[in-house]
Structure 1
Amino acid sequence: MAFALEKDKHYTYKDYLSWPDDVRCEIIDGVVYMMSPAPLLVHQEVAGEIFRQTANALHGKTCRALVAPLDVRLPRHDETDEETDEVVQPDVMVVCDPGKLDRRGVRGAPDWVVEVLSPSTAGRDHIQKHRLYERHGVREYWLVHPGDRLLTVYRLLDGEFGKPDIFELQGITPVEALPGLEIDWQAVLPYLPSDDLT
């Protein structure tokens, strides 16, 4: 089945729900951003290890670790899902408010979001999603750069992301928004590309 987008149309989650299952995309400010058919293996392994550590740490607690593909609808006010013009699929996230979870995924901002950068989506993760997550109140936003072995961390303060902290992917990094949760990069290192494979 052919899939075509109308030029200059403002899209919503209602449109999104009508599209074929094999169409992978996100909507930010009513603009559709197509996603690649499937991420690279390194992306999946790094995201999977971060999710594994997070899920293990939160087992039996109120906060829930979730992993893509899972829709996160981000209404600006009280609009219905069908009217919402922002829906994304973060690689890894934690949601502490059970009221934000429903059969379709998440409605409202996760507490912590991790995006593992891929060449095709890095610009969107750094720019559009940075603004999106800040606007909706994500408490902490991590960008993992597998090829560069770097981590960029944004934390929400007074409704805005401050200047980012940048770390090498080594040792242990705590998630400040979720006391007691930390990521051990030693377990991630085997999945990172060597310099000649990035």
Structure 2
Amino acid sequence: MRLSKEEKPYTYADYLTYPEGERWEIMNGAPYMQAAPAPIHQAILMELAKQIAVYLTGKPCRIYPAPFCVRLPQGYEKNDIEVKNVVEPDISIICDKSKIDDKGCNGAPDMVIEIISPASIKTDRVIKFNLYEKAGVQEYWIVEPEQRMVSVFQLQKNGRFSRPEMYTDEDSIRVSLFADLEIDMGAVFAQR
């Protein structure tokens, strides 16, 4: 939910001033306060994170569930605090260790998963979709708990996301970043 009508563009410097315990994101210079997730959201997040974390054990990529700060610089910023896109994806998978610092991730994760809630539909499907595409996220999942559906977008060579591949609770989804990782969506959506 966008909160400010001010013309001033917000940056990572502003993000650092928000009260501890509140979840904020800044997208295209506008601040958005995040609502507390519902129990179903958290149950789905935990099952997805569990399946991915087990697979990544002993591998170079890492999974980071929310809250985890991801800064998406656009290349024109003079320094880190000028970044106007600061998000907290539900799940980030990062394979390039140089992007990780003591503040979170600086640059595009390899994969992002967002779990839609009623308050985040527009943000996840439009604003974050465009941010993740522009930043170069290789794979983006939008999980819809109520519909028991997942839309999977893969970044193509032209820098645009593909048309979505759609899955339900009856499917397993092969993660394109890893040749042998399949997520059992039946187990994920059984968490209701």
**Normalised by the size of structure 1, how large is the TM-score?**
0.91
Is the deviation greater in 11-20 or in 178-187? 178-187
Runs of 4+ in 1 over 3 A off after TM superposition: none
Corresponding residue for 1:67? 65
1:104 and 1:150 mapped to 2: Cα distance? 32
Root mean square deviation of aligned Cα: 1.4
Per-residue displacement from partner, 1:9-39 (whole Å, max 9, x unpaired)? 1000001101211332111110111111x10
Deviation at 1:6, TM superposition (A): 6.5
Per-residue displacement from partner, 1:51-87 (whole Å, max 9, x unpaired)? 0110100001100011000000011116322010100
Structure 1 gaps of 5+ residues are 193-198
Aligned length: 188
Name the amino acid aligned to 1:12. T
Name the amino acid aligned to 1:182. E
Q: Tell me if 1:15 matches 2:14.
A: yes
Corresponding residue for 1:131? 130
Q: Tell me if 1:46 matches 2:73.
A: no
Deviation at 1:5, TM superposition (A): 4.9
Per-residue displacement from partner, 1:126-160 (whole Å, max 9, x unpaired)? 00000000000000000011100111011100200
Name the amino acid aligned to 2:162. G
Corresponding residue for 1:166? 166
Q: Indicate if the aligned counterparts of 2:139 and 2:155 stay in contact, CA closer than 8 A.
A: yes
1:10 and 1:168 mapped to 2: Cα distance? 39
Identity %: 41
Query: In structure 2, the residue corresponding to 1:9 is in which secondary structure?
Result: coil
2:111 and 2:49 mapped to 1: Cα distance? 12
Query: In structure 1, the residue corresponding to 2:67 is in which secondary structure?
Result: coil
**Normalised by the size of structure 2, how large is the TM-score?**
0.93
